[in-house]
Amino acid sequence: MTPSKTKLQVMWNRLLAVVEEQGQALIRAAFSPIVRECGDISAGIFDAEGRMLAQAVTGTPGHINTMAEAVRTMVATFAAEDMKPGDIYLTNDPWIASGHLNDFLLMMPVFLNGRVIGYTSCTSHLVDLGGLGMGPDGADIYDEGLLIPPCKLMSEGRINTLLMEIVKANSREPVANEGDIYALIACCEAGATRLAQMMGEFGISDLDALADYIIETSRSGTLAAISALPKGTWRNRLVVDGYDAEITLQAALTIAEDHLSVDFAGTDPCCSKGINVPLNYATAYTVFALRCIIGPEIPNNAGSLEPFRVTGPAGCILNAQAPAPVAMRHTLGQMTPDLVYGCLSQALPDQVPAEGASCMYDLPLRHAADADANGAPHFAIELVFNGGTGARPTLDGLSATAFPSGVWGSQIETTEAAAPVIFHSRSLRPDSGGAGQFRGGLGQHIEVRAAHDHDIMLFLSVERVGNPAKGRHGGMDGAKGRIRLGADGADLPSKGTFRIEAGKTLIFETPGGGGFGPPETRDTAALQDDVDAGRVSAEAAATLYRSQP
């Protein structure tokens, strides 16, 4: 007997609660600060066909939307009839999982009455997988660490000890890696246990009716949102800093009656360094950005994702082919929202925000290669900081806020406890938000140095150092990012591997978001509040806004 729509809706709501508990299990159990403090994860529940039914609220689009496709691939790779209760499968293949080696994706079959009725899955970032580490200087994927093809991590509840030892042997942080893998296992198991309990409470033996209801409801809602949009094709190009030369990204956005497509034709080819982006990751952020404007109230699942299609020529930097180096694929992958928003703003001029910092400003740090010789402590950590978002059509941008990644900023106290570094300053950058009727969000000023008398290595790959976030509809550009060693030191380029000598202070300034609308039309009270709070200087208020508050 098919459950009523009311009961199906109740079960859908319960499923969302189950998957949220699943995600929180991963965060609570994780060892690495980037997982437990920054939420660099995904967690999801899938039906027997591998269709994503629900995702945890906590998580990044790069993990969530790639996971949605990765589980389909894993389900096609491993036959359900060969699976046993307690089995868990794993891969970190960038072209299957989430775009680079440091993200591990797990999938666990859920059994009820002796058969597979669905799957739980999750992804999180492991801090170090060997190779050159989390930096952009690899020449190919083999430079970047350990690649694990789809395989069985657990067999009927027993861990694959050889695989675990291989992962630990290829890492500078073996204990953290082992702990994070067990946290991923706990995440899958928590979701599987709660899903089976839920089905028992509702008296259902499969997810078929619920899955069809979720997917069809979400798909029809998304199609209705697309049908209300103007039809046509709009194009945009975005110039980004690149590694040693600027790179042009191009997109054509086509809105049809029953789908929306994005094509990256015309985008520059792959770079020789590790900032290339597998298409699965570029697709994840492109679709996320569009869904923030189109049907944002519809839950994210296989149904709401289905009408969005993303393509790009093989070998362009947004469709990197193996074995291209991709360690820092987020650097350009997280610029795709601004790229497609430049298209969408032509169709929906009053609904799309200005450009923002977009690329998260992460700081992978570790001990120098000669640490043993000088007695320095061994460590590897990846810190995350954010710039300002672009101003919105009716609101200011958000300061020091991650969009599109959603990754929370690293906490000072946690970082200093986990790694031998000390922060001397962290504050918002006045005047970094682009002036406008609505102001862009502010970036940050951060100063950090080694806690002891030793050198540390910095693996830098950020954007908006040469090309700031542009304002929209008369709004002004946000401030550029800036990185240097010491107040009087020369600026560092946006990408590369650098040695921070003992006693040197790394000064790290994240970009601001662009403004929206002409600055002279900004509300006088809002401008005065900015000046009083130190977000805008009196000089900038007088010159950029042409109005002395």
Span 220-260, pLDDT tens digits: 999 999 999 999 999 999 999 999 999 999 999 999 999 99
Q: How far apart are CA 39 and CA 519, in angstroms?
A: 36
Domain boundaries for CATH 3.30.450 within the chain: 5-219
Q: How far apart are CA 449 and CA 453, in angstroms?
A: 10
Q: How far apart are CA 106 and CA 170, in angstroms?
A: 19
Is 90 exceeded by the pLDDT of residue 264?
Answer: yes
Is 80 exceeded by the pLDDT of residue 547?
Answer: no
Q: How far apart are CA 39 and CA 47, in angstroms?
A: 25
Q: How big is the chain, counted in residues?
A: 549
pLDDT recorded at residue 548: 46
Is 60 exceeded by the pLDDT of residue 47?
Answer: yes
Q: What is the pLDDT of residues 186-232, one digit of tens each?
A: 999 999 999 999 999 999 999 999 999 999 999 999 999 999 999 99
Whether 44 contacts 124, CB under 8 Å: no
Q: What is the pLDDT of residues 102-141, one digit of tens each?
A: 999 999 999 999 999 999 999 999 999 999 988 999 999 9
**Cα–Cα distances in angstroms (integers) from residue 23 to residues 43, 64, 122, 187, 191, in the given order:** 5, 11, 8, 6, 8
Q: How far apart are CA 70 and CA 48, in angstroms?
A: 14
The candidate with the shortest Cα–Cα distance to 180, out of 130, 124, 131, is 124
Which pair of structure tokens corresponds to residue 214?
């979720």
What percent of the chain has pLDDT above 90? 91
What percent of the chain has pLDDT above 70? 99
* Mean pLDDT across the chain: 95
Is 80 exceeded by the pLDDT of residue 272?
Answer: yes
pLDDT recorded at residue 546: 77
Is 80 exceeded by the pLDDT of residue 373?
Answer: no
pLDDT grade, residue 369 (50/70/90)?
A: confident
What CATH number does domain 5-219 carry, 3.40.50, 1.10.8, 3.30.450, 3.30.1390?
3.30.450
- Report the 10 Å Cβ neighbour count for 489: 13
Helices (H), 112-249: 161-169, 174-202, 208-227
Residue corresponding to tokens 């690899």:
138
Between 417 and 374, the more confident residue is 417
Whether 87 contacts 152, CB under 8 Å: yes
Is 90 exceeded by the pLDDT of residue 1?
Answer: no
pLDDT recorded at residue 378: 87
Whether 508 contacts 363, CB under 8 Å: yes
Q: How far apart are CA 354 and CA 367, in angstroms?
A: 39
The candidate with the shortest Cα–Cα distance to 320, out of 198, 440, 144, 475, is 144
Between 267 and 380, the more confident residue is 267
Residue corresponding to tokens 């990765």:
70
pLDDT recorded at residue 282: 98
